Amino acid sequence: MGRTLAEKILRAHVAEGEFKQGNEVGIRIDQTLTQDATGTMACLQFEAMRVPRVKTELSVSYVDHNTLQTGFENADDHVYLQSVASKHGILFSRPGNGICHQVHLERFAVPGKTLLGSDSHTPTAGGMGSIAIGAGGLDVAVAMAGGLFYLKVPKIVGVKLSGKLPAWVSAKDVVLELLRRVGVKGGVGKIFEYFGEGVKTLSVPERATVTNMGAETGATNSIFPSDENTKDFLKREGREKDWVELNADVDAQYDEVVEIDLSSLEPLVAQPHSPGSVVALKQLAGKKVDQVLVGSCTNSSFKDLMIVAKILKGRKVHARVSFGVAPGSRQVLEELARNGALADLVNAGARIFESACGPCIGMGQAPTTDAVSLRTFNRNFEGRSGTKSAQVFLVSPEVAAVAALKGEISDPRELGEFPEVKLPTHFILDDSMILPPAKEGVEVEVVRGPNIKAIPDFPEQADEVKGRVLIKVGDDVTTDHIMPAGAKILPLRSNLPAISEHVFTQVDASFAKRAKEQGGGFVVGGENYGQGSSREHAALAPKFLGVKGIIAKSFARIHKANLVNFGILPLVFADKKDYESIAQGDELEITGVRNAISSRSPSLAIFNKTKNNSFKVVLELGSREAEMLLAGGLFNCLKNKK
């Protein structure tokens, strides 16, 4: 039987375990990426491993999230990251050089390689034919130190593309269509592998838009073949030598197949507050718009921004709309500056932001109260924009540009001829903002500002676990709910005691105080607990506050791994109905926890003292995870092995 492309690449990297769906395997990681918001923790953890130089083929540390520098904290983090990178053999992409995923795609992603990144949108590089997976910072630190990355072999779902996108319909609509069909849980435990005739009609950056936002389905990653278009893009980036042809076998068998006819697609929109709430744009035509933002790692490539500039050229942004553009990389920005498109954007009334994540992670540009904000981004979780009452809609650059002109949602197809965008034969190649590491790392001194606090030691897993339910939340709770970001909180990413004060603040401002007063306890959640961002602070900060276990109907992949990495029990209701009978404040007790973990008995009974009843939970663990939980987390586990 023929093999899928994902299987071929994964098999070539398996170093432990048998490659069989559902089995845990350890894979070798060729490349890593970190960004500053998760990277400071990853670097602190890497430093604590006392490995002098990274053991990967390539590791890059990007600064793109925390670039506002409203105080000394962000700036201190940057210098810390720069010095760690130099000392330990990591390339350092300076603030202003661009968003990690866009820059990685341009300068480093290679077909057939494995990439592990401490950011959930790492699968962007799947557009280049890499197996690119998002993970918690600690997993990435382990990979930098030469360790394997462990994952359950996912199902491989083939997405068969046919036809060609009509004018004014773009790659964003392809992935919105996938989200419309499968929703925000539909990709859990799966890889989406694209194939079929339609693949040829999409360029690498367009493919990357699709693989980027595949993260919103909960998928492990998404991947496109490496073909002539891949070669073409690499050539324009001066990296033709990195090209290899990679395809699934013609008789490859997928676990499932989803078919998308590109020709039949129309402009789509994800409505508030979920990337999975997708409807046809025409249903919302006429809705007044207050803010339009173009950028983020989903849609900030040269072509995305050129389309917007061409639509706006010689026109003016509507008086009601605040219109902003954040180019994905310095390369994109310089191209636009030199070819005149930047002037067209400025002339139309655009506010130009730095090449960084910016408003996508709530670093500035919070919309007005009750605003309607149209964004080319990938996430519209409630409050993520910085304004809780704002309604954020996710759209393509084409739709965004037309809304900026008209001041309301309107079908871009009504604007007439679709502007053609030609890619430059050679992109401007200037890697001077990517600093190479020192040749002799030993001499480099790591610079630590007062905001950079060491991670505390955590004890091993107790046998008896007691505590109250500190909070009960519903389905699809995101890591943005658990550990919000934004201009106020993001600068605290390297200061665990300080950031912990903000756990669950969007949901219940008194959570941290209550958790501390009660000496920790439990969190009760619904389905898909911890979807979205890879931020390990959503596990680490609750751990710091004494959270011992999360009892949920199901968990998102990266978050579950982060919980285990930091020694928090991920408990799943054996009978989902028990979720109903448990309330905030209930006193819970579990005994024999160590024994259950070491005997890998999947089932545990929880006694609800308040209700005087017991219910069952499942603790599904591989042997490695069991070892980690017993030790009180991955870090303790590594220390024990030394």
Contact between 494 and ligand MIC (CB under 6 A)? no
SS3 527: coil
Contact between 335 and ligand SF4 (CB under 6 A)? no
Contact between 104 and ligand MIC (CB under 6 A)? no
Contact between 378 and ligand SF4 (CB under 6 A)? yes
Q: Which residue do the tokens 């793109």 mark?
A: 64
Start-to-end CA span in the chain (Å): 43
Dist CA 521 CA 609 (whole Å):
14
x/- track of binding to ligand SF4 for residues 29-68 (CB under 6 A): ------------------------------------x---
Report how many residues bind ligand SF4 under the rule CB under 6 A. 10
Contact by Cβ (8 Å): 383, 512: no
Position among 29, 60, 85, 99 found at the interface with ligand SF4 (CB under 6 A): 99
Contact between 297 and ligand SF4 (CB under 6 A)? yes
Dist CA 482 CA 542 (whole Å):
8
Residue 483 or 512: which CB sits closer to ligand SF4?
Answer: 483
Contact between 38 and ligand MIC (CB under 6 A)? yes
Q: Minimal distance in Å, beta carbon 360 to ligand MIC?
A: 6
x/- track of binding to ligand MIC for residues 226-255 (CB under 6 A): ------------------------------
Q: Which stretch binds ligand SF4 (CB under 6 A): 71-79, 333-341, 356-364, 508-516?
A: 356-364
Contact between 396 and ligand MIC (CB under 6 A)? no
- Strand 391-394 and strand 372-375: the pairing is parallel
Contact between 37 and ligand MIC (CB under 6 A)? yes
Report the partner that residue 296 touches, choosing among ligand SF4, ligand MIC, none (CB closer than 5 to 8 A by kind): ligand SF4
- The number of CA neighbours under 13 Å toward the Cβ of 316 is 3
User: Which segments within 281-424 are labelled E, that is strand?
Assistant: 291-294, 322-325, 351-352, 372-375, 391-394
x/- track of binding to ligand MIC for residues 265-304 (CB under 6 A): ----------------------------------------
Q: Minimal distance in Å, beta carbon 197 to ligand SF4?
A: 30
Helices (H), 349-438: 397-406
Report the partner that residue 402 touches, choosing among ligand SF4, ligand MIC, none (CB closer than 5 to 8 A by kind): none
Contact between 625 and ligand MIC (CB under 6 A)? no
Position among 119, 290, 304, 398 found at the interface with ligand MIC (CB under 6 A): 119
479 bridge partner residues: none
Q: Which structure tokens are listed for 435?
A: 């600093």
x/- track of binding to ligand MIC for residues 54-93 (CB under 6 A): -----------x----------------------------
Q: Which structure tokens are listed for 533?
A: 């961002």
Q: Minimal distance in Å, beta carbon 535 to ligand MIC?
A: 3
Residue 65 or 468: which CB sits closer to ligand SF4?
Answer: 65
Residue 192 or 353: which CB sits closer to ligand SF4?
Answer: 353
Residue 409 or 483: which CB sits closer to ligand MIC?
Answer: 483
Report the partner that residue 99 touches, choosing among ligand SF4, ligand MIC, none (CB closer than 5 to 8 A by kind): ligand SF4
Dist CA 109 CA 368 (whole Å):
38
Contact between 361 and ligand MIC (CB under 6 A)? yes
Contact between 13 and ligand MIC (CB under 6 A)? no
Q: Minimal distance in Å, beta carbon 561 to ligand MIC?
A: 13
Residue 129 or 362: which CB sits closer to ligand MIC?
Answer: 362
Position among 120, 212, 217, 385 found at the interface with ligand MIC (CB under 6 A): 120
Contact by Cβ (8 Å): 543, 567: yes
Q: Which structure tokens are listed for 261?
A: 């006819």
Contact between 220 and ligand SF4 (CB under 6 A)? no
Q: What is the DSSP string of 24-50?
A: EEEE--SEEEEEHHHHHHHHHHHHHTT
Dist CA 100 CA 86 (whole Å):
18
Position among 534, 554, 608, 636 found at the interface with ligand MIC (CB under 6 A): 534
The catalytic site residues sit at: 64-65, 119, 379, 533, 535
Name the phi and psi angles at 25, rounded to 5: -125, 155
Find the helix or strand (DSSP H, E) in which 596 lies. helix 593-598
Strands ordered across the beta sheet of 221-223: 221-223, 190-195, 155-162, 256-261
Q: Which structure tokens are listed for 225?
A: 């073949």
Position among 13, 121, 190, 303 found at the interface with ligand MIC (CB under 6 A): 121
Report the partner that residue 534 touches, choosing among ligand MIC, ligand SF4, none (CB closer than 5 to 8 A by kind): ligand MIC
Q: Minimal distance in Å, beta carbon 558 to ligand MIC?
A: 8
Dist CA 9 CA 177 (whole Å):
27
Helices (H) and strands (E) in the chain, counts: 22, 27
Q: Minimal distance in Å, beta carbon 343 to ligand MIC?
A: 30
Q: Minimal distance in Å, beta carbon 65 to ligand SF4?
A: 6
Q: Which residue do the tokens 């706006």 mark?
A: 312
For the beta carbon of residue 17, count every other beta carbon within 10 angstroms.
Answer: 18
Name the phi and psi angles at 283, rounded to 5: -65, -20
Contact between 500 and ligand MIC (CB under 6 A)? no
- Strand 221-223 and strand 190-195: the pairing is parallel
Residue 472 or 535: which CB sits closer to ligand MIC?
Answer: 535
Strands ordered across the beta sheet of 322-325: 278-280, 268-270, 391-394, 372-375, 291-294, 322-325, 351-352
User: Which segments within 171-328 are labelled E, that is strand?
Assistant: 190-195, 221-223, 256-261, 268-270, 278-280, 291-294, 322-325
Report how many residues bind ligand MIC under the rule CB under 6 A. 13
- Strand 24-27 and strand 149-152: the pairing is antiparallel
Q: Minimal distance in Å, beta carbon 59 to ligand MIC?
A: 17
- Strand 322-325 and strand 521-524: the pairing is unpaired
Name the phi and psi angles at 468, rounded to 5: -95, 160
Residue 325 or 540: which CB sits closer to ligand MIC?
Answer: 540
Q: Which residues bind ligand MIC (CB under 6 A)?
A: 37-38, 65, 119-121, 134, 361, 379, 485, 533-535
Q: Which residues bind ligand SF4 (CB under 6 A)?
A: 65, 99, 119, 121, 296-297, 357, 360-361, 378
